[in-house]
Amino acid sequence: MPSPALSTAKAGPRIKEIHITPIAIVDPPLLNAAGLHAPYALRTVVELVTDDNISGISEIPGNRAIDEALAASRPLLIGRDVFQLNDIRQVLESNFGRETAAERGLTPWDQRKLVHIFSAIEVACLDIIGKVVGRPVVDLLGGRMRDRVPFAAYLFYKYEGAGGELGFGTDPEAAGWAAARQAEALDPAGIVAQAKAMCHEFGFQSIKLKGGVFEPQQEVDAMFALYEAFGPDVPLRVDPNALWTVETAIRYGRMMEPILEYLEDPVRGQANMAEVRRAVKTPLATNMCTTSFADIPNSIVLGSEDIILSDHHFWGGLRASMTLAGICETFGRGLSMHSNSHLGISLAAMVHLGAALPQLPYALDTHYPWQSDEIITAGRFTFEDGAVAVPQEPGLGVELDRQALANLHECYLACGLTKRDDEIEMQKKQPGWTFQAVRW
């Protein structure tokens, strides 16, 4: 039941049903510091239905333990007014308790439960609120600062193939980006070819390489090859996901000073990041060392990064990300956005947030070009000159494709995965390979 309370002029719609649907989406064999992407990436689609039958949706990274915790919080949420997001947050927080950095884990992605749960519920509630008041989510975040949100080309070293071993895999007839998406890319030439195909298809004007796969010189060579191919007007970033030592990061960071827009998570931990930041002129960005509000005071004291890469799935929702934007502005930090393999519900939420942020100096990360599935009725989002137009319709502006949801849920049941584990996947290619928190 709702906490007794606080009188409101008019009670909003109340949550009547919560549907939690795990899905598996085709994901290519992308390499990263933690190993290799499995043939399917897991996502969970959440739908809230109100007592007056308004539906609101959201999408979060898939993980059975998080889904179970979300299901267990149903009794706390049923009956609550979707407008009372502060109350909902407090109820969830007192149920789960605050989560620590240790619970986040050492992987590039966040393993905490509450941040995901709050994100799932908040975004779906905002979708409903938007429909009730007839305004897009961006207007609930303070209003649009731009009509189009720019994204960056997100390159990966990868093995050949498109993923999806259950039958949706590689298409030998593919051309253009569809072909490049399934091509092997294990050296600088492969990375440049991938970048050209992706930028040609989507019009991206900034480029990020996911590093932490090969020894640093090889990845630095790839960055110089990209610089050579695209010239000085295309901002470049590389992200070794904290696998480098401070010494390595200073050495290679200095080498790349003339060509990088920013260097993302070269080392692990705020103190190490601060040391590198003092020695290298290029701005440092992070989605690994400052990952929660509890990390902010130390970030400011130490000076661990220039740019925080928020992610509404990991920071507890869109409004929390707006709060983070205010903190960043106060303390002179830039703010941009991190991503993971995702579909259009997450992309819509990212676009609304990106449109509402007061400053947007950097093109945002997205994995979207790597995916081929979709669960929204309008089909896949289009990019023009690397940017996505902000949906104008009330709420998120996307509707659930129920048939696609059912198919992708079937795929989840058939693929047997219950959480992301890139190390196990890598061991299938390289027996004995183990994840190391710091490698070079």
Examine the residue annotation and report whether 338 is marked as an active-site residue of this protein.
yes
Report which of 213, 181, 151, 198 is spatially closest to residue 360, judged by C-alpha positions.
151
Report which of 433, 363, 390, 310 is spatially closest to residue 147, judged by C-alpha positions.
390
Rule CB under 6 A: which of 278-297 touch ligand GLR? 287
For residue 210, the partner it binds in ligand GLR, Mg ion, none, with Cβ less than 5 to 8 A by kind, is ligand GLR
Looking at the Cβ atoms of 141 and 246, the one nearer to Mg ion is 246
Rule CB under 5 A: which of 211-240 touch Mg ion? 239
> Which residues have C-beta within 8 Å of that of residue 4, sequence separation ≥ 6?
none
Looking at the Cβ atoms of 287 and 336, the one nearer to Mg ion is 287
Rg (alpha carbons) of the chain, rounded to whole number? 21
Q: How far apart are CA 120 and CA 45, in angstroms?
A: 8
Q: Count of alpha carbons within 13 Å of 315, Cβ hemisphere only?
A: 29
> 158, 210, 312, 313: which is the annotated catalytic residue?
210
DSSP E strand boundaries for 198-352: 207-210, 236-239, 262-264, 284-286, 307-310, 334-337
From 33-41, 133-141, 189-197, 284-292, span contacting Mg ion (CB under 5 A): 284-292
Site for ligand GLR contains 305 (CB under 6 A): no
Site for ligand GLR contains 241 (CB under 6 A): yes
3-state SS, residue 208? strand
> 312, 313, 338, 352: which is the annotated catalytic residue?
338
From 136-144, 335-343, 388-396, 431-439, span contacting ligand GLR (CB under 6 A): 335-343
Examine the residue annotation and report whether 342 is marked as an active-site residue of this protein.
no
Report which of 19, 18, 66 is spatially closest to residue 42, judged by C-alpha positions.
66
For residue 373, the partner it binds in Mg ion, ligand GLR, none, with Cβ less than 5 to 8 A by kind, is none
Write the binding mask 262 to 281 for Mg ion: x where contact by CB under 5 A, - elsewhere: --x-----------------
For residue 340, the partner it binds in ligand GLR, Mg ion, none, with Cβ less than 5 to 8 A by kind, is ligand GLR
- Candidates 40, 83, 96, 109: give the one binding ligand GLR (CB under 6 A): 109
Across the chain, how many H-helices and E-strands are there? 16, 14
Q: How far apart are CA 89 and CA 95, in angstroms?
A: 10
Site for ligand GLR contains 108 (CB under 6 A): yes
What are the two backbone dihedrals, phi and then psi, of residue 61, each rounded to the nearest 5 degrees?
A: -55, 145
Question: How many residues belong to the site for Mg ion (CB under 5 A)?
Answer: 3
From 76-84, 180-188, 324-332, 333-341, span contacting ligand GLR (CB under 6 A): 333-341
DSSP state for residue 295 in the 8-state scheme: G
The answer to whether the beta carbons of residues 237 and 207 sit under 8 Å apart is yes
Q: Which residues in this chain contact ligand GLR in the complex, by CB under 6 A?
A: 30, 32, 108-109, 210, 239, 241, 287, 338-341
Active site residues: 210, 338
